[in-house]
Structure formats: structure tokens, C-alpha cells
Structure 1
Amino acid sequence: MTDAEMAMARHWIAMSSGAPENWQFVEYDAAIPAHGEVTIRVHAAGVNPADAKHVAAERPGVEFPTPIGYEVSGELTAIGPDTLSGSGHAEVGDEVVSFRVRGGYATALTVPAEKVFAKPTTLTHPEAANLLLVGTTAAEMLAVTGAAPGETILLHGASGAVGVSVLQQARLRGIRVIGTASEGRFDEVERFGGVPVRYGAGLAERVREVADGPIAAALDAVGTDEAIDVSLELVADRSRIVTIAAFGRAASDCILAIAGSMPDSARFRDEVRGELVALAQNGDLVVPMARTFPLDQAPEAHRFLATGHPGGKIALIP
């Protein structure tokens, strides 16, 4: 990246806690990479609910102003001396993905090289920019519940972004998934190997009817009381029930809760990134997209995301 390009870099920052409408899109200097760092020209930034939640309110560990965005896809424009990426040797011009970074809503950013991996050639930049946050979350949900080949598990929110990744990863492992969804999203659940059931009154009985045997574990990606109540009714071992949304219920009902901000979750998600990139390169993981927005329309992208049913992932395009 030339000095002029670095001087023209722009990114979204939150000056204080609040909604995306309060963010600012400003010029900044993308640092020249030192040893162990690389600079990425961003071609797409993944849009996730966590991006806005992270700065919605004052919280420990968040200092303002703070840049927005956790994952990107792009190309390397500069590499620090004697530096390897998470995939090994790297060269300027290589297409890459990067996850668990800060400030991905940008035209360019400099990040630790260990967080950068070769972009799967099977994915577009918008798809690749949305691979790893949901993918690592899904992988951890399966791991902490001990989901094993031949078992049947229950997945709440099966047609959402995390749910779709769970379905794909479970199918690769020979795990049968019964997934809750609206009837309008049954095709999406079936597309990725799940058995769809309609959420709402009578859910537990509908799950029993299609399960034809015990439910070994329950994975909650929606956070509703119904999801937790049905999980508790159908899964005897509470150590095999996990949520990524109902943290109050996790504490009161003694079930598992995971989040990227938790140290154990962070370690797991760092370790599994390379595996997921390889699965995508092999064509075993895909990322359904809903739409893209120009980078300068980040608040509009989050308004669309907040509708609750975007029908796929969203990316910002510089």
C-alpha cells in the first residue's frame, strides 16, 4: 500500500457507547506493519450483531473511541519483516481472510499476522468475510456439548447464520440435527442436512415425533425462553445444553453459555480458524449471503440486520 493510500484510509469508529447511528466514518492512518504484522486492503467486511453489541453500552475492557468490525477479506499490501501469516508464508497481493481483529469496517487495516489466513478460493470476498465468526461459534457449540457421530441433537435457530454453519459442520461429522425454524425457512434447513421443525407451542412434542430416539444435546442460537425450556425438557444432561444468547437462563438453569469474549471461547476459536478455512477451501463450508452494502452505509446495514431475518449474511464493501 502506498503512502497516499494509507493516508486515505477510512474506518468506522464509535466515539462513545450507543447505536450504529452514532458511529463516525473517518480518515485514519493504517500503521506500517512491524514484525509480526501485515496490512490488508479490505475488499469486504463481515457484518455481525456482535459488532454493534460490543459498543452499545459501557462495558469493562472497551475504551472509546474504538474501531468497529471483527472480520474481513481482502489482499495483503504490506508485510512486516520476517513475518509469517496464520497460513505460513505470505506475499504482497495474496488474498486473505482475518478474524478476531479490531476495526474491520475499514478500507485498510494493519493486524497481527497470526490472525490472517489464505482466503479460500471457493468463496467470494463477501462470503469469506463472513466465514469465521459464525463458523468458530458453531464449532465451539458442537465441541462443548460433545456432539458425536450417530447422535441426534436439537438446534434452535437452524436457519440463522450460526445455525447454518452448525448444520454443515454436523453433517460432515455424521451428526443428525433437528433444527427449529419458521416454515418459510424449512428449505434452508433441509438444504444443509437438517430436519426442520416449526418453533412455537407444542415444539417439544414435534421434536419427539421426528427424533425417533433420544436427543443427545441441545444448541441454542436464539436465546428465547421456549428454546431453553424445550432443551431442558428433552436433554437430561444439562452439561450438554449450550446457549450463545440466553446468558441469564444459563446462570439460573446451570447450562453452558459461550461467547467470544470468554477466555476459553477465545482460545478455542483461535485454534479452529485454520480448520474452518480448510473446510471452506474443500467446498465443505459455504456462506449464504443476503446482500451487501457500501462501506459508508454501515448503520443502514445494521438496520437491515436488526430486522431479524435477513436470510443470509451481510457484508460491507469499500
Structure 2
Amino acid sequence: MQNLVEVDKRAAVPKRESTARSKLAFIRKNYFLYVLLAPALILTLIFKYVPMYGAIIAFKDFSPMKGIMGSDWVGFKYFEKFITAPNFEVLLINTLKLSLYGLILGFPVPIILALMLNQLRKSAVKKNVQLVLYAPNFISVVVIVGMLFVFLSPTGPINHLITSITGQPVMFMTEPEYFRWVYILSGIWQGAGWASIIYVAALANVDPELHNAASLDGANLLQRIRHIDLPTIKPIMAIVFILAAGGIMSIGFEKAYLMQTSLNLPTSEILPTYVYKIGLQSGNYAYSAAVGLFNSVINVVLLITVNFIVKRLNEGEGLY
């Protein structure tokens, strides 16, 4: 028995060597592809992995004078402080609501736009429509918020129309109940067109003969979309949904912070704006790092959970 095991081990060594040689040969043959990939890998390492070292301050009583390693270790002190804080529940609920509503309302819109664009047969018309849909993505967030304050102000054009009907304006930018809808709908308007690009590219690979054959068999437009177009983009939809669900807690603070007023704080104060205020404005770096790390851990858990669920429902197709 021992001799057989030794023979198996000796046989495995040449196999490993041949596999290693084949990989090296592949790298030498396609070295230019790795050269093209190198800048992205370097940037990812520098801006994503190296800063992870700074997450240590979440577990320390950080002092800029002592440095990261010289500061006293306090363990989970700041995590406990945040979880037991009076505003913890409000911050968590506001962040989850803003993200979940945005995901539920915003996820189908790029798919619908892509399916509609795919039905346009005139190339010139299609390009002009795409230009109009993609343009808002290139507008600065600061400009978008400025436009919102102008259009939704009590004397703005939208309230002018509302006042002519109801007799009184609606305080969109100061009433807490309107903050989420303004934030989400403006975000959909800005990003849905650009997000539809990936679906438009996938639909471009659909063989037109499939649609022609389905039309000859009597299938109408909705049936062709359901049985031809949607199955084509289904894997992409799964990946995009997993990534979106995994980033539920990763709302950029810029737009929410710019839209904040003293009157809409009950719904506009979210985790990213809270981290910005206590970290950069108040200088409490350790506490803000703990809140940010708490936020990241929730994202990772959501990503793994959603990927597992989608793989079970999608016949094994997931992000990984």
C-alpha cells in the first residue's frame, strides 16, 4: 500500500510541472495582455488594498501625534459606542431605505430602456435617443443638486405649476418625506441611461433570425422580448443585481450631503454623511473608521448572501 502511495506521489510531480510549464508558456505567449492588465492591478492595490492598513484605527484610540501603531488599542470600544448610540437606528434605517428603494425602483429602468432602444431600427434616431439618455450621467453631482434646488424651490417652475392647481407650493427640499423620492428619482434620471449600455451591448448580439422566425410563428413583440431578449441578458441582470445588492450600504455621501437642510435631517442623515461629519469635520477619526468598517462588513455579508440566493434561483449562475 505504501509503495502505491509513493508511486502516486511521483506521478503527481510531473503533472504539476507540466501544468506550471503550460501556464508559463501561456503567459509568455500573451504577455502583452498582462501588460495591459498591469495598470489596473497596480491602481487597485494602491487605492483599495493598501488603505486597508488604516482600518486598524477603528480598534485604537487614534492620535495623530502617536500614529497608527503608537496609539492605544481599545478593541471594539467604538463599535459598541456606535451600536448603542441614540441615533444608530435612525442612521441605519435611513441608509437601508434610501438604498433599497433606489434598488427596487432603479434596477428595472435600464433594462426597460435597453429593450426599448433595441426596438429602434433607424440608426440615426437610435443614436440621438442614446445621446439624450446618456448625457445626464456626465453632469456633476453638484450641478444636479443645484438644478434640483432651482426647479423644486417654492418659486421654481414645478411649484409654479403646482401652485396654479392647488394654490400652495410643495416644499420638496425641506420636507423630510420628500427627500428620498427626490434623491432616488433624480438618481434614476441621471444614471439609468448610462446603466443601460451593458444591456444594449448584450442585445446587439441577438441573432435577428430568431426574431424573424418567432414572428413567422405568430409571436408578438412582448412574447419575443420575453422568450428571446430577456433570456439573453439574464446572466448580466443577475451579476448587476448582485453587485447592486452588495453595495446597498455604499451610498455616496456627496449628493445626500449637498441635499441636506436643517429641516430634512430626519431622513437625509445617513451613515456616509455621518462618517464625513464625525471624521473630517469633528476630527474623531477612530470613531468614524469604526462606523465605516461596520458599514463595509454589512456590504460584504449582503454580497455573499445575495450571490448565494441568486445562484440557487438562477441555476448556478452568480458572481462567483
Range of TM-score over shorter length: under 0.3
Higher strand share: 1
Scaled by the length of structure 1, what TM-score is found?
A: 0.27
Which protein has greater RCO, CA pairs closer than 8 Å, 6+ apart? 2
Greater Rg by CA? 2
